[in-house]
Amino acid sequence: MHNSLLTREWAEEMDRQDELARFRQEFYVQEGTIYLNGNSLGLMSKRAEASLFTLMESWKHYGIDGWTQGKRPWFFLAEQLRVRLAPLIGAEEHEVIVTGSTTVNIHQLVATFYQPQGNRTKIVADALNFPSDIYALQSQLRLSGFDPDTHLIRIPSADGRCLDEGEIARHLTEEVALVLLPTVLYGSGQRLDVEGLTNLAHERGIVVGWDACHSIGAMPHQFHKWGVDFAVWCSYKYVNGGPGGVGGLFVHEKHLPATPGLAGWFGSDKQRQFDMTHTFVPAEDAGAFQIGTPHVLSMAPLVGSLEMFGEAGIERIRAKSLRLTQYLMDLVDTELAGMGFQIGNPRADEQRGGHVSLIHEEAVRICKALKGEGVVPDYRAPDVIRLAPVALYTSFVEVWEAIKRLKRIMTDKIYEQYSNERGVVA
């Protein structure tokens, strides 16, 4: 990018032209703080707050009858929410359900789709995956009587940041029954070719699932069209559903109806659920994969949040996200040159998720200094600074200002005032 485009004035003009700028006022953005940690926890919106209060009011006024009465009866809330959620992942409504957490949903779907037979007994993941995904896969292998040390194959990374898709392909052998991969790597922000890898896995007789935690709400997906077998995600990052908010799952219609690996009463056919028999009759859609009674108050913020996504449109969100992250990288290249930073994420649009990954040997202290200067980043061991400008509430001027403050931190060595130890929560 030409230096004339790296000024504050250029950023201000971009904000004036931004067709999504109006959504910023919908969020509780703290004055004086530049929040670049939406890939870990999205900010609270006024609509999410309002929808939470609405569900609390129904509890207040209806008591137990809130399950079937009021503006949004709780008994059908998960099915109502999927109407707005399905467009974010490119799915048919009946293939989606709001339920559980990422890890619980991985357990559910692996318990359903991991069916070892003969020599095909192994599961493939990757060496850079979020630990909880790996723990779940290890547990499922043990429950099936297999040793995770020999049956969980983790695709290595040559640089410790990104995956080589050719290396992924090499590990999809005739011994593999199932593969679970991230749509976007949580550390580096690398975006994988979901469609291409799904097709390749299917050509080799392998069931394929995707963890979309770091892509949902930041970019479009076409899980139905691509033939993805199953997928899971959380709601508290780019979807802004609140801390620990209820996640969701996708099961392609070619697998429906299905009997879930882990049955629970909320997966029942809605017309039969209160028969209270000991014969499980699952719903004929993805609702069958629900387990226990839903956490209604944790689902409530999604009502307001998903309404905004419907108005903004995921294609426009992705377009702005790419412009923001490109601008951030251009500023790093020019303003922070020679200061020891390296961009750890792929630069190509089609290979980049929603955040920028900066590598620096002083990452811990730099992150602490950034917070001290009013910029909220995200640290990942051992040397990663994740910066996520989120399309719905981050401005171009904020990106410019954040790098300005980071440059001052490095020039004045402000980071040296901080200890080189991460906190318990990082």
**pLDDT at 4 > cutoff 70:** no
Do 294 and 324 belong to one domain? no
pLDDT band at 421 (very low <50, low <70, confident <90, very high): confident
Do 129 and 199 belong to one domain? yes
Do 252 and 352 belong to one domain? no
Q: What is the pTM of this model?
A: 0.97
**pLDDT at 423 > cutoff 90:** no
Do 290 and 329 belong to one domain? no
For residue range 41-70, what is the model confidence (pLDDT) as tens digits? 999 999 999 999 999 999 999 999 999 999
Q: What was the pLDDT predicted at 211?
A: 98
Q: What is the 3-state secondary structure of the chain?
A: CCHHHCCHHHHHHHHHHCCCHHHHHHECCCCCCEECECCCCCCCEHHHHHHHHHHHHHHHHHHHHHHCCCCCCHHHHHHHHHHHHHHHHCCCHHHEEECCCHHHHHHHHHHHHCCCECCECEEEEECCCCHHHHHHHHHHHHHCCCCHHHHEEEECCCCCCCCCHHHHHHHCCCCEEEEEEECECCCCCEECCHHHHHHHHHHCCCEEEEECCCCCCCCCCCHHHHCCCEEEECCCCCCCCCCCCCCEEEECHHHCCCCCCCCCHHHECCCCHHHCCCCCCECCCHHHHCCCCCCHHHHHHHHHHHHHHHHHCHHHHHHHHHHHHHHHHHHHHHHCCCCCCEECCCCCHHHECCCEEEECCCHHHHHHHHHHCCEECEEECCCEEEEECCCCCCCHHHHHHHHHHHHHHHHCCHHHHCCCCCCCCC
Q: What was the pLDDT predicted at 414?
A: 98
**CATH number, domain with residue 326:** 3.90.1150.10
Q: What was the pLDDT predicted at 178?
A: 98
Do 125 and 231 belong to one domain? yes
Q: Which of 311, 332, 358 is the last residue of a domain?
A: 311
For residue range 390-417, what is the model confidence (pLDDT) as tens digits? 999 999 999 999 999 999 999 999 999 9
Q: Which of 311, 342, 362 is the last residue of a domain?
A: 311
Determine whether the annotation assigns residue 395 to a binding site.
no
Determine whether the annotation assigns residue 275 to a binding site.
no
Determine whether the annotation assigns residue 132 to a binding site.
yes
**pLDDT at 1 > cutoff 60:** no
Q: Does 370 fall in a domain?
A: yes
Q: What was the pLDDT predicted at 373?
A: 98
Do 81 and 183 belong to one domain? yes
Determine whether the annotation assigns residue 133 to a binding site.
yes
Q: Does 126 fall in a domain?
A: yes
Do 263 and 374 belong to one domain? no
Do 21 and 168 belong to one domain? no
What is the layout of strands, in order, in the sheet containing 342-343? 342-343, 356-359, 384-387, 378-380
CA of residue 223 relative to chain centroid, distance: 15
What percentage of the chain carries pLDDT values higher than 70? 98
Q: Does 137 fall in a domain?
A: yes
Determine whether the annotation assigns residue 229 to a binding site.
no
CA pair distance 285, 56, nearest whole angstrom: 28
Q: Does 152 fall in a domain?
A: yes
Determine whether the annotation assigns residue 182 to a binding site.
no
Q: What was the pLDDT predicted at 425?
A: 64
Q: Does 266 fall in a domain?
A: yes
Determine whether the annotation assigns residue 325 to a binding site.
no
For residue range 188-220, what is the model confidence (pLDDT) as tens digits? 999 999 999 999 999 999 999 999 999 999 999
For residue range 116-162, what is the model confidence (pLDDT) as tens digits? 999 999 999 999 999 999 999 999 999 999 999 999 999 999 999 99
Do 302 and 353 belong to one domain? no
pLDDT band at 5 (very low <50, low <70, confident <90, very high): confident
Determine whether the annotation assigns residue 15 to a binding site.
no
Q: Which of 293, 311, 329 is the last residue of a domain?
A: 311
Determine whether the annotation assigns residue 121 to a binding site.
no
**pLDDT at 380 > cutoff 60:** yes
Q: Does 263 fall in a domain?
A: yes
Q: Does 44 fall in a domain?
A: no
Q: What was the pLDDT predicted at 2?
A: 58
Q: What was the pLDDT predicted at 349?
A: 98
Tell me how many domains the chain contains.
2
Do 288 and 324 belong to one domain? no
Tell me the pLDDT of the chain averaged across its residues: 97
Do 303 and 412 belong to one domain? no
For residue range 215-263, what is the model confidence (pLDDT) as tens digits? 999 999 999 999 999 999 999 999 999 999 999 999 999 999 999 999 9
How is residue 188 written in tokens?
């580096």
For residue range 320-364, what is the model confidence (pLDDT) as tens digits? 999 999 999 999 999 999 999 999 999 999 999 999 999 999 999
pLDDT band at 18 (very low <50, low <70, confident <90, very high): very high
Q: Show the domain range for 357.
A: 3-31+313-417
Q: What was the pLDDT predicted at 3?
A: 67
**CATH number, domain with residue 159:** 3.40.640.10
Q: Report the phi/psi class of residue 292: left, alpha or beta, with left for phi > 0 and alpha for psi in -120 to 50.
A: beta
Do 153 and 229 belong to one domain? yes
Q: Does 362 fall in a domain?
A: yes
